[in-house]
Amino acid sequence: MKTIKEMSMDVKHIATLTGHSGCIYAMDKGMSEQTVFTGGSDRFIALWNLETHQAEKFSATLPAPIYSICHVPEKKLLLAGTTTGSIHLLDLEKKEEIKILKHHQGPVFDIKYSSKTNCFYTAGGDGNFAVCSFDTLSLIKMKKLSHQKVRSIDFNYTTSEIAVALGDSNVLIFDLFTLEYKNDFMAHQVGEKVVGANAVRYSPDGNFLLTGGRDAHLNIWQVGNYELVKSIPAHNWAIYDIVFSPDANLFATASRDKTVKIWDAKTYQLLKRITKENFEAHTHSVNKLIWSTYHNYLVSVGDDRMVMVREVNRK
C-alpha cells in the first residue's frame, strides 16, 4: 500500500477490484456498510466487498448497458437505469427481477430515492424528469425540462428541495413535496457558450449546492437565492460526480480528465490530486464516487473498468 501525505492528509490505496469487462458508469452503496454495487457497459451489476476485496455472490445481467443504480435498503430493492431508457427493479432477497419500467425514451442517467416522499426520481437523456411512487410503482409526474439531457438529481432535506442538472447548463429547483418550480439558474458556461451541468450535490448542512459541469468548473451556490459564491477551475475536463465525506469535512470530485480530487468542504481548498503520475489511479475517465462510512473509504469507478478503493484520513 502506498501512502501520500500532503496538507495533513493521509491517502492509502487499499485495493483495485477487477471483474467488469466494460466501462463502469454506475455505483451505489451495497447491502452492508462494507459493500458497493457497480454497473456499466458490460450490462453487468456486481456487488463488491470492501473488506475482503472480492465480489460477493450476487450478480445480475441486464439487456442493455447500465448508466445508473439506486439501492433502496428499506425496500430491499435495487433499481438500475439503462441506455435504452428502461428501469429494472431487482428484488435483492429473491434475487430476481420484479418489474421493468419504460418511462424514458433515452438513457437513464440518474435515479434517486427519497424516504420522505416514498418516491424515486429519474433523469433521462430524453430531457424528461420523472417521479414514481414506490407504493404502486407507477408514474406520478413526468416533466419535460429540456431538449437536452437531464443528468443529475439531489435532495436538500433542510429546505425540502430537489435540484436537477440539465445538459443545457441550467439547474432547476423544485419543492420536494409539491414538485412546484422554485428557481432556476445557468450553472456553467465557457465565455458566451453555455455548457452542460453534469452533477449537483447539496452540502450535508443544506446551505450550499455544488455543481460540476462540462466546463470542468466546480461552482458553489448559496441555497435560497442560489447566487454564485465561488467558481473553481477544478479539472481539465468535465466533472462527472461530487461526493461528501461521512463527517462532511471533505468532498471529492471525479472527472473525465482521469483524476479524483479531494477538497476542504469549508474553505474549498484543494487538498489532494489523485492521478496516475503520483498515485495508483485511473487511466481513463472517472465516472462515479462513493464515500463509504466503512474505514472512510473513497471508492471510484471509471472507463478503465476498475473499482479503486482508498482510505482517506485528515490529521
Q: What is the set of domains in the chain, with CATH numbers?
A: 3-314 (2.130.10.10)
Per residue in 210-266, pLDDT (tens digit) is: 999 999 999 999 999 999 999 999 999 999 999 999 999 999 999 999 999 999 999
Q: Give dist(CA 299, CA 14) in Å, integer.
A: 10
Task: State the cell numbers at 80.
Answer: 438500475
For the cut 80, the answer to whether the pLDDT of residue 315 exceeds it is no
Q: What letter would DSSP give residue 152?
A: E
Lowest-confidence pick of 52-56, 57-61, 175-179, 305-309 = 57-61
Q: What is the dihedral of CA 63, 69, 72, 76, to 10 degrees?
A: 30
For the cut 80, the answer to whether the pLDDT of residue 5 exceeds it is no
- Burial annotation 179-203 (CB, 10 A radius, 16+ → b, else e): beebeebebbeeeeebbbbbbbbbb
Give the percent of the chain with pLDDT over 90.
90
Reported confidence tier of residue 27, pLDDT bands at 50, 70, 90: very high
Reported confidence tier of residue 11, pLDDT bands at 50, 70, 90: very high
| Mean pLDDT of the 271-292 span | 93
Q: Give dist(CA 102, CA 115) in Å, integer.
A: 22
Cell 471510484, located at residue: 300
Lowest-confidence pick of 14-18, 69-73, 120-124, 276-280 = 276-280
Per residue in 171-192, pLDDT (tens digit) is: 999 999 999 999 999 999 866 7
274 or 3, greater pLDDT: 274
pLDDT at position 56 is 93
Task: State the cell numbers at 224.
Answer: 435560497
Q: What letter would DSSP give residue 197?
A: E
pLDDT at position 59 is 80
Task: State the cell numbers at 161.
Answer: 428541495
